[in-house]
Structure 1
Amino acid sequence: YVQAKLQFQAILDQVFPEYHGVFGDLYSKVSLRFLALHPTSKEVLEMSEKEITTAIQRLTGRSRSALWCLERAQILLAAAKRNPFKEMAFPSHLISIQLLINLLLQYQEHLATLDKSIDALAEELLEYDLIQSIPGIGTKIAATILAEIGEIDRFDHAKKLVAFAGVDPSVFSSGKFIATQNKITKHGSRRLRTALYQAVRCGIRSNRNKKLRAYYDKKRSEGKLFKVAIIACVNKLIHWIFAILTTKEAFRLE
């Protein structure tokens, strides 16, 4: 999927580079399907604002307002006017764009189906509900965490899980010198690390997880930088998750 996106961007930059940003998400279904119908700025400029708005409305159905569709049409027309390649693109480029758009849409459908299957499997696990007892961890994050950790029995201590997530400090030493400021190793599972980071941000936002927010505020009051405080919270969260998965008991805010 990533490779297809890179190839798509490379071709688009040779045909309609100003198209980036028109729909916010270049790879949204509306963006890809509109481009499949009108792949060049020349074609866009041959349409009126009303025609473009109507075309976008058809692609969005009722998911977007008429105003949003009109704004996208205006942005698209402006982008088409700025586009340096207003003449007809090479036929090979247009064929490549069509093929890559179809491929990207197929990938998205497969990934959506896979996500549903993962969610369905996760819901059958007791641990899936247990770790969601921690404020800030929703269904997607819970599924990712469980998928990345696997069997908790693989880790005989919470510190092992911290290391697996790659948020343990890296210690540099040379002779008699030992560094006093260390970055995290970033070894292990990047997906797990990202999910934990998202859970922390969700938890401390609007004080959803009061225990985690209090811990974050404590670290900040000690003079810790934002990122350092967040990583400390991630470390704390991992210890909570480890305890929940090993004891099979839900999280308690008290």
Structure 2
Amino acid sequence: MNPVIGLDISKGKSDGQVFFDKGQPFGQSFCFQHNQEGLSQLLDVISNVRIKTEKTPTVILESTGHYHQAVIQFLEEHGILFLVVNPLISHQAKKSSLRKVKTDAVDAYRLCELYYKEEFEDHKQRGVQLLNLRHLTRQFDTLTQMYVQVKLQFQAILDQVFPDYRGIFGDLYSRVSLQLLKQFTTPTDFQAAGESNIAYTIASLCPSRSVRWADEKASLIVVAAANNPFQKVSYTSHLISLTLYIDLLLQYQEHLSHLRSQIDALAEEVEAYQIIQSIPGIGGKIAATILSEIGEIHRFNHAKKLVAFAGIDPIVYASGKFTATSNRITKRGSKKLRHALYLAVLCGLRKTGSKRLREFYDKKRESGKPYRVALIACVNKLLHWIYALLVKQEDFVDLA
């Protein structure tokens, strides 16, 4: 016998079905909650199947984001073998049925049937350290996107209060720029404060810069305030929003800085982090993202599997005498990994980047490949290099 338990995972609960062997379902479907009592019920089902078949059943389930994490952790703690199936595979299997029935119990039943049809590789669990790194890098990206949105909203309000303030500081979102604007806010406030008071405030907010620099900035602000088209703010709501956005921007900067230091500290403990950074054009943030998304390199026994995992393998289409010559990438892998690799290629093609990558890119362009096709070819090549370096535990050697 080859027993299996299919689990259809949803938020807070799961539906299951037991098969003793191919074509031999056992009993009715069962349901359990994702708590200690419910997980104990799952363990009782596993024990019952083990007694009846004299074999420990394999558990098969779909990948469902974070909903299945509680079940997976429980199975790992009890040494139960499990398989996590790509939802694309299970969805295609469901479409093969002529009957349009969609329930959680039926989905669990079909997962069991899929287990006997396909040859699945054992689930290779990722290490806790790299999972922590992945969570932090993804959180960093999420906060960065939110930070960008707040910056855009802040600019929209500033354009209606003090538009000429933009050109005063090299970085509008620097701490001294935001703190100064929070303290005075409107052109009228700046004019009332006077140039000397503004210069003193700037110097106190940025003690690392010279007094002369603070005086120059204060002079520019006074001139900009005098020429500002909005000498009087008609809507007090703009002032409330501006202060709110300044507070949010400062908080986001603090959180992103803290996250960045945590990512760097965690990544420094992994040898592969330094190996990936040895490729010219790849900095700390991109290297940490690539490493965290790939995970342990031994999960892939060939570079082509890593390419497919990133979703940059080509769509192949051929029918009869027709064979497509213009193929797109599948984009069925890790979007975060693809984005990080794309940024790494853009950085690597700069003058200070990788000479080997630049040579490969120029060769593709000279052969008539369009710009984006050549870039994707570089992404593919870069990923092959990363795979080889991580397997061999060697640093990258660029052209002289």
State the TM bucket, normalised to the shorter chain.
0.7 to 0.9
Give the CA deviation at 1:71: 5.8
Secondary structure at the aligned position of 2:229 is classed as coil
Q: Secondary structure at the match of 2:173?
A: coil
> Which stretches in structure 1 are left out of the alignment for 5+ residues?
none
| Equivalent residue pairs, number | 253
In the alignment, what sits opposite 1:30?
176
Q: 1:91 to 1:246 in 2, by over 3 A?
A: same
Give the 5 Å matches for 1:1-254.
Answer: 1=143, 2=146, 3-46=149-192, 48=194, 51-62=197-208, 64=209, 69=214, 72-73=217-218, 76-77=221-222, 79-81=224-226, 83-88=228-233, 90-169=235-314, 180-182=325-327, 184=329, 188-206=333-351, 208-253=353-398
Which amino acid counterpart does residue 288 of structure 2 have in structure 1? A
Matched AA of 1:98: T
Partner Cα distance (2:298, 2:275) in 1: 16
Task: Give a deviation string over 1:121-177, Cα, whole Å, max 9, x none.
Answer: 101111111212222223222112112323334545434433444544567899987
**What CA RMSD, in Å, does the superposition of the two structures yield over aligned residues?**
3.6
* C-alpha distance in 2 between matches for 1:140 and 1:33: 28
Between 1:168-177 and 1:158-167, the stretch displaced more is 168-177
Alpha-carbon displacement from aligned partner over 1:201-225 (angstroms, at most 9, x marks no partner): 3333336423222212212322334
Alignment TM-score, normalising by the size of structure 2: 0.52
**Preserved contact between residue 166 and residue 188 of structure 1 (Cα < 8 Å):** yes
TM-score by length of 1: 0.77
Counterpart Cα distance in 1 of 2:368 and 2:334: 29
Which shows bigger deviation, 122-131 or 178-187? 178-187
Instruction: Indicate conservation of the 8 Å contact 2:280/2:352, yes or no.
Output: no
C-alpha deviation, 1:117, in angstroms: 1.0
Structure 1 counterpart of 2:154, one-letter code:
F
Distance 2:303 2:262 in 1: 29
SS in 1 for 2:178: helix
Query: Secondary structure, in 3 states, of the residue corresponding to 1:206?
Result: coil
What is the alpha-carbon distance in structure 2 between the residues aligned to residue 68 and residue 97 of structure 1? 26
Aligned-partner Cα distance in 2 for 1:71–1:172 = 64
> Please, which runs of 5 or more residues in structure 2 have no aligned partner?
1-142
Deviation of the 1:74 alpha carbon: 5.6
1:136–1:209 contact (8 Å) kept in structure 2? yes
Specify whether residues 10 and 190 from structure 1 end up closer, same or farther in structure 2 by C-alpha distance, changes over 3 A only.
farther
Report if the CA contact (8 A) 1:15-1:89 is conserved: no
* 3-state SS of paired residue (1:137): coil
Q: Whose relative contact order is higher, 1 or 2, with alpha carbons under 8 Å and at least 6 apart?
A: 1
The code of the aligned residue for 1:243 comes to A
Shift of 1:7: 4.4
Distance in 1 separating the partners of 2:236 and 2:205:
25
CA distance in 2, matches of 1:15, 1:242: 53
Higher Rg of the two aligned structures:
2
Moved more, 237-246 or 223-232: 223-232
